[in-house]
Amino acid sequence: MAVNLSVNFCGVKFKNPLVLASGILGITASSWRNVVKNGAGGVTTKSIWLTEHKGHRNPVIIANEHYMLNAVGLPDAGVEKAREEIGKYLSWKASPLIVSIVAGKVADFGEIAENIAGLKPDIIEVNISCPNVEGEFGKPFACVAADAAQVTREVKKRLDKAGVKIPISVKLSPNVENIVTIAKAVVDAGADALTVMNSMGPGMAINLEMRAPVLANKVGGLTGPALKPIAINFIHDIYKALPGTPIIGTGGVMTGEDAIEMMMAGATLVGVGTGVYYRGIEIFKKITDEMQSWCKANKISNLVSLIGAVQRHSE
């Protein structure tokens, strides 16, 4: 018999815990649905701005077997285009939709959140942690607890005022001194959930013959397999400090065992981004098959029982 992989996240039911991470194959409704067809339990959109925002020039993504470095620069056509794509996706009644939003100013976060909430996505993810637009906007909000809390409060306030009850997950940055402090500040400010984590760095790669940084933005966020132990550690610590707050664990997940490891650390949903590069778009199906096999071999009938399992063990 198949193991039950479904999870409930902030009242939203996912047929399996895998969600497409923001910024990967996230631009169109058709692309989101194609990812669902390939086995994802849900999808996150590319981060959406209020108005059009140009990204960086190419090269924006480079990779090898060890890492991916990206500085796409959050290109997006703004809320008008998003309305069309989100409407189309929701009309297909595919799997749950998490809409990622981004802004350069606190008030704009509220504005875009209210706009997006009107479209009734299942969850809103608040991206305060992109490391690739520092040139334009300075240090991400996720780097200072008070800033992170302020954005969260603003988004909550605007959603409450509009009378919509859509859970928000705030996406944290790993590039901070104490991620637990930030997590607590954000949850105190009203976040329903946390996405842990965005990319690390920034990092740089140099072409020797041309003596030039390869990314047009010179630096970019590091993602891929090496992120996993860092993400596991952060999720573990945050879950321990905030046991009631659901977590989307993201960073370096490649296999079913990686996903289960994330869940044991404390994640309810598991984000997959860079894994698409390493294992193809079929990665979602591959991971759920591997989760099934592991659960069967270890006599787990319900995946949910594994969430935070390592904590109970270490207590």
Partner 1 sequence: MCQRSDIPLSVKIKKINKETPFVMSFVFDYPHRALPGQFVNVWIPGIDEKPISVAFDDGKSYTIAVAAVGEMTKELAKKKVGDFIGIRGPYGTNYGSKSSQFIAMVAGGYGVAPLYFAAVQAIKAGCRVDFHHGARTKNYLLFADRVKKLKNTRYLPATDDGSLGHEGNCVNLMIETMNAGAKYDLIMTCGPEPMMKAVSDVAWKKKIDAQVSVERYMKCGLGICGNCCVDDLGIRTCQEGPIMPLSQIRKIKEFGLYHRNSVGKKHSF
Ligand X SMILES: Cc1cc2nc3c(=O)[nH]c(=O)nc-3n(C[C@H](O)[C@H](O)[C@H](O)COP(=O)(O)O)c2cc1C
Return the structure tokens found at 160. Answer: 């409450």
Centre a 10 Å sphere on the Cβ of residue 289 and count the other Cβ atoms it contains.
Answer: 13
Asked if residue 274 binds partner 1 (CB under 8 A), the reply is yes
Identify which of residues 95 and 199 has a Cβ nearer to ligand X in the complex.
Answer: 199
Are the C-beta atoms of residues 98 and 123 closer than 8 Å to each other?
yes
Find the length of the chain: 315
Contact between 61 and ligand X by CB under 6 A: the answer reads yes
Q: Is 204 helix (H, G, I), strand (E, B) or coil?
A: strand
SS3 100: strand
251 binds, among ligand X, partner 1, none (CB under 5 to 8 A by kind): ligand X
Binding mask 22-51 for partner 1 (x = CB under 8 A): --xxxxxxxxxxxx-x--------x-----
Q: Which does 199 bind (CB under 5 to 8 A by kind): ligand X, partner 1, none?
A: ligand X
Strand pairing of 269-272 and 18-20? Answer: parallel
The answer to whether 212 and 243 have CB atoms below 8 angstroms apart is no
Tell me the backbone φ, ψ of residue 98, rounded to 5 degrees. -105, 120
Look up residue 205 and give its two tokens: 């790669």
Query: What mask, x for binding ligand X by CB under 6 A, covers residues 276 to 315?
Result: ----------------------------------------
- 130 contact, one of partner 1, ligand X, none, CB 5-8 Å limit per kind: ligand X
* Residues 205-264, interacting with partner 1 (CB under 8 A): 205, 207-210, 212, 214, 216
Select 70 or 217, whichever has its Cβ closest to ligand X: 70
Other CB atoms within a 10 A radius of the CB of residue 66 amount to 9
Q: Which of 227, 221, 226, 224 is nearest to 204 (CA)?
A: 221
Annotated active-site residue 130? The verdict is yes
Least separation in angstroms between residue 220's CB and ligand X is 9
CA distances from 49 to 111, 149, 190, 191 (A): 10, 20, 22, 20
Q: Which does 210 bind (CB under 5 to 8 A by kind): partner 1, ligand X, none?
A: partner 1
Size of the site for ligand X (CB under 6 A): 29
- Which residues in 174-233 contact ligand X (CB under 6 A)? 198-199, 223-224, 227
Three-class secondary structure of residue 42 per DSSP: strand
Nearest-5° angle of CA 48, CA 129, CA 124?
A: 45
Per CB under 6 A, residues contacting ligand X are 21-24, 46-47, 61, 68, 70, 72, 74, 100, 127, 130, 171, 198-199, 223-224, 227, 250-253, 271-275
Per CB under 8 A, residues contacting partner 1 are 24-35, 37, 46, 52-55, 57-66, 68, 70, 72, 75-77, 81, 205, 207-210, 212, 214, 216, 274, 276-277, 280-281
| Residues that are catalytic | 130
